[in-house]
Amino acid sequence: MPDRVPPRPHYFDVDFNVTPFTLAWEVTRACALACVHCRATAQPKRDPRELSPEEALRVVDQIVEMGKPILIVTGGDPLMRRDVFDIIRYASGKGLRVGLSPSATALATTQNLARARDAGVDMVHISMDGSNPEVHDAFRGVKGSFQRTLEVMNSVKGLGIPLQVGTTVSRYNIGDLPAIAERVASIGARVWSVFFLVPTGRGQMSDMVTPREHEATFNWLYDLSRTASFAVRTTAAPHYRRVVIQRTRQAQSSSGGVEWELTGAGYAFREGRAPRDQGVNDGKGFCFISHVGDIYPSGFLQVSAGNVREQPVAEVYRHSALFTALRNPALLKGRCGACEFRGVCGGSRARAYGLTGDYMETDPSCVYVPASVQSGPAA
């Protein structure tokens, strides 16, 4: 097994203009499931245009050359690629921290998960979108998926691989979140990654929860994070960081504290002496490579800025008009542009694009009204 990789530097030490904190690579769009929210609109068979095994290894070299971000190998179902273990082994051998996000299908056997572990995977992400078969299977589009998910999670834990559980919040399961959290705790997951649906791929605008439901869920997640046995992270919901900061300020104010720092999955915020903030967002500390090599700001913001077959990913990330615009907070519009939390949040650029057609517009899922516009949150 390759030597373990040293810990990442502090978030403040990573220059997001040069290197993404995380890079997700959709190695295939093939998948046996038919999830109602699927960003990739996954299909049963592999696309003949996929990057070849030789091209895949060259992509790993490109990722290493841009500064060694955390690499997430995803899909579709990445286990649909026979060479996925070769990709993981090559990436890990080059010093990359590698996460794997397989689908809970017949391919996610204990044997295959052990091969991934031995190739150098640092964490496995498994999705659970309901606490019971009725909710989860309806979401995933395949009967028996819930039971299979539990079996895969147990295999991951049995193999000693850190487990991350992912849940996509939608109108189908928002009422089931407390029960899902209990499942996450009982299985012994290290991280609960809570995604908030973006209308792209199979995801529909009508499946999203309302802005007020976003806000209520953020506050519930913050309360949960204070006592949970696992870390709570959000995806496509950078405004959760704003809630965490507001709630922490309230607690610090009541206790008389004046200097503190928050550090989470892709963001850091320092209050008091030398205040600073920095947060990952679409194209800002995050990059996504599709199964055919297109380079996107994220999997949910599928606007291509180039292709790895034509340009190195570092060149596109650092210099393309799309990526540089997304990293310029002065270009944000509406409430996001006026918000005092724009450095650490900035709103979901993918959701803004999905709902307004403009990736620099206000994130419509946020209820907060900036201090410069109107004091306090929306009534």
One digit per residue, the tens of pLDDT, for the chain of length 379 reads 444 445 556 778 889 999 999 999 999 999 877 666 665 555 778 899 999 999 999 999 999 999 999 999 999 899 999 999 999 999 999 999 999 999 999 999 999 999 999 999 999 999 999 999 999 998 887 889 999 999 999 999 999 999 999 999 999 999 999 999 999 999 999 999 999 999 876 778 899 999 999 999 999 999 999 999 999 999 999 999 999 999 999 988 776 666 778 888 889 998 887 888 999 999 999 999 999 999 999 999 999 999 999 999 999 999 999 999 999 999 999 999 999 999 999 999 999 999 999 999 999 999 999 988 875 444 3
The CATH fold assigned to 21-317 is TIM Barrel (3.20.20)
Q: Where are the domains of the chain?
A: 21-317
pLDDT at 40: 53
Distance CA 78, CA 31 (A): 8
The burial class, CB within 10 Å (0-12 / 13-18 / 19+), for 202 is middle
Helix (H) or strand (E) run with residue 297 in it: none
Instruction: Name the maximum alpha-carbon separation found in the chain.
Output: 61
The burial class, CB within 10 Å (0-12 / 13-18 / 19+), for 114 is middle
Q: Is this model's pTM higher than 0.75 or not? A: yes
Distance CA 26, CA 169 (A): 21
Check if the beta carbon of residue 63 is closer than 8 Å to that of residue 90: no
Cα torsion for 72, 136, 154, 78, to the nearest 10°? -30
Tokens 């620099």 correspond to what residue? 360
Cis peptide before 130 (omega within 30 of 0): no
Distance CA 309, CA 324 (A): 21
- 3-state per-residue secondary structure call for 119-181: HCEEEEEEECCCCCHHHHHHHHCCCCHHHHHHHHHHHHHHCCCCEEEEEEECCCCHHHHHHHH
Amino acid making up residue 24: A
Distance CA 276, CA 157 (A): 37
Check if the beta carbon of residue 276 is closer than 8 Å to that of residue 10: no
pLDDT at 252: 84
